[in-house]
């Protein structure tokens, strides 16, 4: 039975003594997750291909008492790289408490804006390739699955002894997207399809991995500042998404992009609330209230 002092935010969302791994942690949503976790005491390993980007992120956003550790030159679509990553972390840690499977790519874009079927075919046929579709699916879906599978033993090792009441004390958070839930293609058929698959993969893993005591949930972001939405980042690996650029889309009730802190809140909630499993948390400023979903 909880006393009032148990509800202090620093107790509810403390990550003290926790170890996390964030793929694609050098910028965008991955960096937001990293900052939120580290600021609340976690040791966070950030993973990606670009070593310099990861080192910059860890240096520029060093927390007061948590820790950000870069591990670069890792291709999450390569099983050998994933195995090496797990082995490297295993040399340093007995377990991990959280995996944020965040790495992703935007894929090709071709707007379905022609009313003549021949013109529509021509634009979409020439605007996208099979290889681009395969690459998008490989990064946004397949890598999420194999990254999670690779870390299952380290995640299970974090489960507290029976009697603690925390059978599901380790978890995975995937980064899906509001785009994987809506029917509006946004010119991104490959990306939206892949993110829809990520949503379903999350539900499959949440049900199947209960047997090893690992929770799996997903955050489905709307428009947040990242290299994917803003097309660039600054010398601190941060991106800027002006409110007017979001407002002009006409389907964002908040009339702005999401704030870094708002993504951090969502990450901490799913990381710490062990009574949540198999959920897709849309953090989208109300977009899915405007655009039809499933």
Look up 11 and say whether it is catalytic.
no
pLDDT score of 233 = 82
Question: Which is nearest to 140 in space by CA: 181, 189, 197, 185?
Answer: 197
Tell me the sheet residues that pair with 46.
Answer: 22, 70
Determine the pLDDT at residue 292: 73
pLDDT for 168 equals 63
Task: Please report the pLDDT score of residue 169 as a whole number.
Answer: 74
Query: Which residues of the chain, if any, have pLDDT below 70?
Result: 161-168, 294
- The rounded distance, in Å, linking the Cα atoms of 56 and 52 is 6
> How many H-runs (helices) and E-runs (strands) does the chain carry?
12, 7
Quick: pLDDT tens for 154-181. 999 998 765 555 666 799 999 999 999 9
Residue 164: its pLDDT value, please? 55
| Beta-carbon contacts of residue 2 (< 8 Å; ≥ 6 apart) | none
Among residues 170, 176, 179, 226, which one is catalytic? 176
- Strands (E) across 76-165 are located at 98-101
The catalytically annotated residue of 45, 169, 171, 191 is 191
Query: What does pTM read for this prediction?
Result: 0.94
Please list the residues that pair with 216 across neighbouring strands. Answer: 172
- Residues 202, 278 contacting (CB under 8 angstroms): yes
Question: How is residue 24 annotated by DSSP?
Answer: T
- Tell me the C-alpha distance between 194 and 27, whole Å: 21
Tokens 């090496």 belong to which residue?
A: 84
Spot the catalytic one: 18, 53, 195, 272.
195
CB burial of residue 261 (10 Å; 0-12, 13-18, 19+): exposed
Token pair for 76: 């999450």
Q: Quick check: is 176 catalytic? A: yes
250 Cβ contact list (under 8 Å, min separation 6): none
Tokens of 31: 């960096």
Per DSSP bridges, beta strands 214-221 and 280-283 are: parallel
| Rg of the chain over all Cα atoms, to the nearest angstrom | 19
Task: Mark whether 195 is an active-site residue.
Answer: yes
Host H or E run for residue 135 = helix 130-137
Which pLDDT score is estimated for 293?
A: 73
Neighbours of 253 (CB within 10 A): 11
Q: Which fold does the domain 15-290 belong to in CATH?
A: Rossmann fold (3.40.50)
pLDDT value of residue 232:
75
pLDDT, residue 161, reads: 64
């Amino acid at each position: 039975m909880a006393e009032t002092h148990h509800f202090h935010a620093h107790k509810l969302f403390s990550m003290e003594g926790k170890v996390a791994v964030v793929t694609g942690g050098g910028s965008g949503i991955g960096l937001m997750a990293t900052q939120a976790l580290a600021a609340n005491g976690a040791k966070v390993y950030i993973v990606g291909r670009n070593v310099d980007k990861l080192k910059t992120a860890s240096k520029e956003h060093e927390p007061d008492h948590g820790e950000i550790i870069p591990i670069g030159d890792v291709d999450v679509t390569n099983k050998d790289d994933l195995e090496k990553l797990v082995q490297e972390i295993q040399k340093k840690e007995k377990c991990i408490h959280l995996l944020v499977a965040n790495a992703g790519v935007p894929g090709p874009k071709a707007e379905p804006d022609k009313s003549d079927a021949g013109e529509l075919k021509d634009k979409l046929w020439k605007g996208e390739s099979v290889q681009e579709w395969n690459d998008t699916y490989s990064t946004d879906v397949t890598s999420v699955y194999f990254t999670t599978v690779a870390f299952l033993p380290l995640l299970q090792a974090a489960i507290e002894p029976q009697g603690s009441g925390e059978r599901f004390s380790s978890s995975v958070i995937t980064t899906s997207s509001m785009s994987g839930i809506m029917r509006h293609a946004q010119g991104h058929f490959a990306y939206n399809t892949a993110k829809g698959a990520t949503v379903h993969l999350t539900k499959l893993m949440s049900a199947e991995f209960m047997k090893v005591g690992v929770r799996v949930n997903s955050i489905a972001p709307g428009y947040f500042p990242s290299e994917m939405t803003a097309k660039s980042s600054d010398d601190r690996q941060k991106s800027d998404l002006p409110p007017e650029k979001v407002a002009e889309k006409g389907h964002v009730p908040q009339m702005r992009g999401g704030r870094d802190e708002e993504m951090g809140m969502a990450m901490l909630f799913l990381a710490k609330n062990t009574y949540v499993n198999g959920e897709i948390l849309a953090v989208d400023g109300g977009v899915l209230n405007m655009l039809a979903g499933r």
